[in-house]
Amino acid sequence: MTRFLRPLLVLIGFMLLSTSTLAETPFPTIHEPSDESKKCIHPEDEMRRNHMNYILHERDETMHEGIRGEPEGLANCINCHVEPNESGEIAGIETKEHFCSACHEYAAVQIDCFQCHADRPQKYIDRSKHSSSLRDQLQRTLAAAEAATEGARP
């Protein structure tokens, strides 16, 4: 009897284990554009498998040949798929709610695009802290140089 019971117990144990793992990493919820009339430029399964190839191709063409405005660019993905949530905030790339990081976290594939690229549409980029610090710094340096030149005059 025990000869049969032991493997059965092991099997039950495995099943319990695997269900609990599934419960901890649920399949990612992917943000669909709130405007339902918007359709993705390619079928979903095609995009899931091959989005990186589209983006890469577009990247080199834009960078080196100046070809712009083709639909497969990263900015276009972002423009449809990144929108404010119910509380009016954009979930950044560092959160799991972001369209890109939702799947990339699930699949444990590191994503480097957003070290340089904006993770949200232009209109949601907080520009308030840009350039004013540089402007002040420049004015100070100019003033200091001006003072130094004045002093150096015979």
Applying CB under 8 A, the residues found at the interface with another protein are 59, 63-70, 75, 115-118, 121-122, 125-127, 129-131, 133-139, 141-142, 145-146, 148-149, 152-153
**End-to-end Cα separation, the chain, in angstroms:** 108
Task: Work out how close the CB of 149 gets to another protein at its nearest, in angstroms, rounded to a whole number.
Answer: 5
Our CB check for another protein shows the closer of 109 and 148 to be 148
CB 58 within 8 A of CB 72: yes
The DSSP code for 98 is: S
Our CB check for another protein shows the closer of 23 and 148 to be 148
Q: Which of 97, 94, 123 is nearest to 110 (CA)?
A: 94
Task: Work out how close the CB of 68 gets to another protein at its nearest, in angstroms, rounded to a whole number.
Answer: 5
CB neighbour list of residue 90: distance below 8 Å, 6 or more residues apart: 82, 83, 84, 120, 124
Task: Work out how close the CB of 131 gets to another protein at its nearest, in angstroms, rounded to a whole number.
Answer: 4
- Tell me the residue length of the chain: 154
Our CB check for another protein shows the closer of 3 and 129 to be 129
Task: Work out how close the CB of 6 gets to another protein at its nearest, in angstroms, rounded to a whole number.
Answer: 54
